Every structure is written in structure tokens, then in C-alpha cells.
Structure 1
């Protein structure tokens, strides 16, 4: 099937029918491929707790495949990508709300499998590894996280067999390692990044934002302000970007910085001061007890 280009700004798709909710691979296949008609199809993979950022992904998927194409949304909280001290059990779950949001924005099928359905033989003994790209930044704080991500993404790509898979640019390192996996291992799918959706005050949408108190939320705005400060001086080069972002974060109340880095999106290494071209300015920090990540794209001159 023909591959499309990355979608531009999209509008909310009209709700034309109810999404079919499936829980097993067999039921998903019957719902997603009800006949042999060759149409483009797309998948949006989520861990649930859907918000407007996910809605933008579903709308972009619908635009990508067109009115006659098919869009699937997966809802699966993947235990492989949670560390021992992370919030697997606490992670928010509301399938009914997730289904409503998915279908209102153009999904045909929601696939919400159990852990046993995805891993029928128990915890997988053979897994994909993100290699050096998965050991940096988020991988330093969350060892093995991207191995879990790639393992479940690979399985879901096999199950859903899409022409296109859409992921949010807010999780920049995740997007980078998935794109590299697809390129290195010859997956027959196009990975499309969709721009981060923000609140009016700049806060990037995240399922974890619901953990923030009102005070924490106000403190969290320091992250996006720092990123915007760096982006604003990108024409002056990488050194200026780093200095402006760091200055904006200096002394930020309630923010415990993990990292602030200017990164080459192709291999997720930090760029040199003489670098020119597109880069990702990324930040991770704890605000209160909640760990947040965010990033912006910058063009260094």
C-alpha cells in the first residue's frame, strides 16, 4: 500500500460509528480485517488514561488513512516497561473513557488485551533490546525501560500489522528507538511522529499530570518555559540553547532536575557546540513526587 507523508495540523474527526472493543487477538483480527478489501490502516499504541494528546494521535491516524481506511487504538499497560519502584499498580485505568475518546476521534477498533493475552507464555524470556540508544537519558534513570517498550511494540506491530503507526513526539527517546528498531530490523511499517499537545500555559499533556497537586502543576511550568527559552536562541547555536534553558531552570521551585540535554534525534547522543541542524532539547525532572519529561525541536545554526 502507498505510504503517506507525516500529517499536518488536523481537525477533530466526526463521530460516524462506535468503535468495536476487542480483548483477544482473534477478536481484534476479525474486527480490524472484516473483509479482504485492501485499505490503508493505522495503529495508535497507548497505555490508556487517554487525553487530548492521544486524541490528536487518533485524529492524525484517521487523516493518514482517509475516510475508508481503518484505525486501531491499543490500550495496554505493559508491565515490562515499569521498574521495580515505579507506578504499575497506580497507573490510571479507565477503559470506558478511553473507548469514548478513541471512537470520538476516529478509531474503528480498540484492542484492550490482558497481560496473559499479550504474554501467553508468561514473562517473555526473549526480548528486544534498545542497545546504546536505550541506555542514555531515560534509560539511565529507568534501566531496561526501552527494552520493555520495544518488545511490546514489536508484538503489537505483528498483531495489528499496520501500514502506519503513530507516536507522540513528547516521548522523544521512545519515538527515536522505535524508529531505529523499524529501520534496523526491516519492519514493514511507517512510523509517524505527532507533535506534542500542550495546555494553553505550555504544560505538555501527560497521563501523569493527574498526579500533580495545584502547587506542583504551577511548578511544572518551569520545564516548558526552559525549553522555550532554549528554542528562542537556537539561531545562536547549541551553547546558547543549553545556557538559556539552564538559566530558566536555575532555582525553579519544586523542581528536582534529572537531565537537561540537547540531543541528536538520530542516535540520541548529545550534540557538540559546533553542531548545526535539527536537534531535540529534552528535560526530565521530578515535580513533587511525579516525574515528568518534555522536549522541543530546535534548529541550531
Structure 2
């Protein structure tokens, strides 16, 4: 009897180990993108933590943070898809925001401590007149409460400790800036901006007010779009928690409008060893090419060389 029990225990242990290996293998195989409509409140990293828990995958990156007070589109890359982020068209980023004239805070939004009040409330004609000055390449000093590093330390950490520090101006690109509504009685303007990665909407609102000789804070910021992906394509947090697999968007779907190529098994083997492959056609022009396997499984990103061949920049297939 003891032998039978011991034998059964061994089978159970092997079965448990097999199941564990399967789970680990499934986690490693999870790859794709998740688009989340972040509510006001949680940090971007809070959402990443939620996604890791829901999907059982540690490797999750994103295409740009949102402040806790901001809402809207978070573009998450899952598993090996994190290696593809830098090859995706993730600009412009489109935000809809509200700003209120007449006061400002240390955080440049309503969450902070008021540091100045009594600024003038501009006329709508004056506001509309100065907006074109912000379209194009601009220089922008990030907010003191931001994730910019100063000597290896986040600026918001120094700001909370009331340390004295300076932030250097950065270049940003504003594709468009539009005024949708202006209620002068409430001193509130509603605008939208299409801009480059790294643009601070709070700083933009501050600079718009400064150009008018006054002060302002943002009262709401919502990211509506990243590249081709709109917030209407995003899922809510509850859906992520309850049905995470349904939230996962295949790589092939995200890059379908970009140059891509279905490779042969022989070409996949060459790529797995870091070797170059011939172009799909002699005069093929795209600088970068997403490569898929015979079943549209993501395989690599390749870059065109001066010789006309394609060199693997990121390889997702195993040898």
C-alpha cells in the first residue's frame, strides 16, 4: 500500500510540475498589445501592475506615461512585443485639455498648492491670436513636478522635498493646437493638441497663459490618440481584470498598415542566427520591415542596408 501511495505521489508531483511548466510556457508565449482607457487617479505604473497580474506576464512596457490626474489612452506592449515599441508610429499624441486662467499651482494643475492668484482673464480674440505661435517646433521647460531626472533623481522627488533645482528647456513639436470652447466668465478654455512624445500639456498651458501676460492651471487632460490608435479602441480596467485575454491585440493587427512580410521557414532560420535576408522584391524600399512566419506569428523587425538586404534589428523567433 505504501508503494502505491508513494507511486501516486510521484505521478502527482510530475503532473504538478508539468502544469507549472505549461503555465510558465504560456506566460512566455503571451505577446501583443493592450490599449487601456486610464481613469483619473491611478498612475501609469499602477495600470502596468494590473496588466501584469491579469495576464500573468512580467514583461510589459508602455508608449508614454500619463499623470495620475490625467485620463485616456495607455498603449501597453506585452511580452516580446515590448521589443517592437520603438519601431511603431507612436506620434503624434493627441490630448484634449481644459485650462483655467487667473491662478497657478506648484504642479501646474488643480492637484497642487496655489502659489499665485489674481491673474488677468484674457479675451477670446487674444487667446485665439497667440495659439499659432505654439505650432511647430517649440522650447518647453518641463513642470517641476514631472518624471524628468535631475542628477539621477526624479524632479517630482526634489520638488516634494522643496529642493532648489533648475530644469533645462526641451524641444517639442506641436502639430496642431485648437481652441474648442472658451467661457470667459468661468475663465476656462477647452483645447486639443497633437504633439510629439515628451510634450508636457501642463507646461503648454502655463506657456500659453504666460504669452498672454497671465497665469493658468490645467483642470483636465485626456489623451485621445497615440499614432493610429484612438482611445475608442481602448478597454476599461474592469474588463482587463475580468477578461484580460480578450483585451490582448495581436501584433499582426497593430502593424497591418505598416510594411510587413511573411517569411519562409528558411528565412526565419537565417534571422534566428542574426543573418541578413534578401528583400521581398528587388526594388523594395521600406527602411524597416516587420517579418512574420508562415502562420503570421511575429518573427523579427529588419532594417534595409546599403547593400539592399535586410538586417535583423529585433529577432523574436528562437533558434
- TM-score interval, normalised by the smaller of the two chains: under 0.3
Greater CA radius of gyration, 1 or 2? 2
Q: Scaled by the length of structure 1, what TM-score is found?
A: 0.21
Structure that is richer in strand per residue = 2
Q: Scaled by the length of structure 2, what TM-score is found?
A: 0.20
More contact order relative to length (CA 8 Å, sep ≥ 6): 2
